[in-house]
Structure 1
Amino acid sequence: MFTMESNGPKLSTKQIELFEQSHKLCLPDSYRRFMLKWNGGWPTPNLFLVFQKQGTSVLNEFASLDDLEDLLDIYEDRLPKGFIPIGDDPGGNVICLATLSPENGSLFFWDHEEETDDPNLRTNVYHLSDSIDEFLEKLYAEEI
């Protein structure tokens, strides 16, 4: 069963709209709903498959709206155009949300160890899901 311990204060639709306007973004509806419900947090379960060759990773946390402000500055010239960092793993890799068509709403794994000088080459980016909802459904716990 999926649970989330929120890490930010409850958001209003207006706060999300102001964030979108200030960053010239259009967040997908599913991500807006996610932020209105939790505003980031620590999920349980928190394991996900990047892809067979890459293996499993651990989702540390989803960023709150306040955290997104800082993360956008940190990764501004490092992520592909239209990608925003919404979470991370213990290895310094980033879970990204695509905000431009045709991938709008899809989540991607950004591998910092394979980073290149041109982020738009996307040689270090791996598709995780077509939406935040699909990604949450794919999270799993380690079997004991």
Structure 2
Amino acid sequence: MTTPLDLLERVLDARLPPAYRDWLAKRNGQTPENRLVTFTQNGRESSTTLHALYAVNTKHTYNDLWYFHANFGQDLRPWYLSIGSDDGGNQIVIALKGPNHGKVFFRDHEVPLDVGMHIIAPSFEAFLAGLTTG
């Protein structure tokens, strides 16, 4: 039997990083209690507040992975997938292919992709572990 995550991987033509796939299978986008995201931007420490991690097949477009991929993911394809957003509408992105596979990034939506991607964590597990209160 094909699961929604199997279908998602088929559509993306990529395997989801195992920890992220496991998170979706168990929690389907549930936003963690700790939501402060810290990363380096232009050589300085920066932070933002995680608004949501997207789920698969939700009733609402504001947190649906399919909706965001279909409507806003064209500049990320096929290398990256938007998996969530901050309170300002910037995206939290995971690399699906290439040398950055599995890494999690902050995507500043106000600048071009090549200058708007900033690494948050080397993996989804590290991303979750690095979230703090704030």
Q: Could you say if the C-alpha distance between residues 108 and 13 of structure 1 is closer, same or farther in structure 2, counting changes exceeding 3 Å?
A: farther
Alpha-carbon distance, 1:73 to partner:
1.3
Structure 1 SS opposite 2:94: strand
- Deviation sequence 1:63-87 (CA, Å, 0-9, x none): 0012111111122323264111000
- Deviation sequence 1:47-74 (CA, Å, 0-9, x none): 0112263611000110001211111112
Counterpart of 1:57 in structure 2 is 48
| Greater gyration radius | 1
Counterpart of 1:22 in structure 2 is 11
2:97 to 97, 100, 108: 100
Mapping for residues 112-123 of structure 1, pairs under 5 Å: 112-114=109-111, 116=112, 119=113, 122-123=114-115
| Equivalent residues of 2:12, 2:78 under 8 A apart | no
Counterpart of 1:9 in structure 2 is none
Q: Could you say if the C-alpha distance between residues 21 and 80 of structure 1 is closer, same or farther in structure 2, counting changes exceeding 3 Å?
A: closer
Alpha-carbon distance, 1:28 to partner:
1.1
Mapping for residues 62-77 of structure 1, pairs under 5 Å: 62-66=53-57, 67-77=64-74
Q: How many residues matched?
A: 126
TM-score (norm 1): 0.80
More off after superposition, 36-45 vs 52-61: 52-61
In the alignment, structure 1 segments of 5+ residues that lack a partner are 1-11
Distance across 1 between alignment mates of 2:121 and 2:45:
15
More off after superposition, 39-48 vs 50-59: 50-59
Distance across 2 between alignment mates of 1:132 and 1:102:
15
Distance across 2 between alignment mates of 1:128 and 1:13:
32
| Equivalent residues of 2:73, 2:82 under 8 A apart | no
TM-score (norm 2): 0.85
Q: Does 1:32 align with 2:17?
A: no
